[in-house]
Amino acid sequence: MTQIVEIKTESELKSLREAGKLVSEILSVIKSKVQAGISTKELDDIAYKSVVSHNAAPAFLGYRGYPSTTCISINNELVHGIPAHKKNLQDGDIVSIDIGIKYNGFYGDVAQTVAVGKISESRKKLMKTGYNCFLESLKYCYKQYRVGDISHSIQRYAETNGYSVIRDFVGHTIGRNLHEKPDIPNFGQAGTGPRLYPGMVIAIEPMIAEGIWKVKILQDGWTVIMQDGKDCVHFEHMVEITDSEPRVLTSYN
């Protein structure tokens, strides 16, 4: 069955560009406070205040019952880490910060794994590879390609460099809803899946791990960790498909 792909109007694209820019600025504010000793709840409070100060709404807060503005995941936590006063960052950690907003009726969504103080060489390599997976995927964000080309490029780059790609969680299309179809997996077969069209806005989010790709969810019902306890990273950008070069709507300031 053919999947219906929503193409945004120029007015809608303008709003999505604004949402992408704003959520990037808010992520930058959060990152500026990342340091050893700070709790993930303190970072989440900073995020909430920044979101509402811009007349935006936290996209994650209350979404399917999620209790916080951000998802903050440390080391072997992949995604959906619930901020808590008792979770303090330590020197040498890597922390993935994921934040979404609703602004003027449209969603912005961005994530980045960042270092806390001085990190190990293995963690530096993992982070670099994770972000390079996104850069690799940009080569296929053109109208002649399909979603499977993006997915395959991420998987190929990660596995070539000795890492695994997560199967259980994927990227997505974005617009008036936080998660729209089609999904954008981090694994797949080239030349398959929905075709890319100008006017699509997709959230590409490579998630890779040092060990096996299998995950489990903690008793809080949200926090996703690697089954083998090894490190993982998460990067996410919003990308607009155009008639020419892809346009990245979010940034890591």
Domains of the chain are 10-248 (3.90.230.10)
State the pTM of this model.
0.96
pLDDT of residue 86: 97
Confidence band, pLDDT 50/70/90 cuts, at residue 2: low
DSSP at 139: T
pLDDT of residue 115: 98
Residue 46 φ then ψ, to 5°: -60, -45
Give the mean pLDDT of the chain.
97
pLDDT of residue 253: 86
240 forms beta bridges with: 201, 247
Contact between residue 166 and residue 208 where contact means Cβ atoms under 8 Å apart: yes
Confidence band, pLDDT 50/70/90 cuts, at residue 33: very high
Question: What Å distances lie between residue 167 and 214, 223, 228, CA to CA?
Answer: 8, 16, 15
CA distance 110 to 20: 8
pLDDT of residue 6: 87
Question: What Å distances lie between residue 92 and 37, 40, 232, CA to CA?
Answer: 12, 15, 14
pLDDT of residue 1: 44
Confidence band, pLDDT 50/70/90 cuts, at residue 161: very high
pLDDT of residue 13: 98
Confidence band, pLDDT 50/70/90 cuts, at residue 70: very high
- List strand residue ranges (DSSP E) for 29-186, in order: 57-58, 70-74, 77-79, 94-103, 106-115, 164-165, 171-173, 180-184
DSSP at 194: S
pLDDT of residue 5: 81
Average pLDDT rounded to a whole number, residues 238-244 = 98
Which residue bears the tokens 């890779």?
208
CA distance 225 to 209: 10
Which residue bears the tokens 């935006």?
56
Q: Is the pLDDT of residue 103 over 50?
A: yes
DSSP string, 99-117: EEEEETTEEEEEEEEEE-S
CA distance 99 to 23: 7
- For residue 225, the surrounding DSSP H or E stretch is strand 224-226
Contact between residue 241 and residue 204 where contact means Cβ atoms under 8 Å apart: no
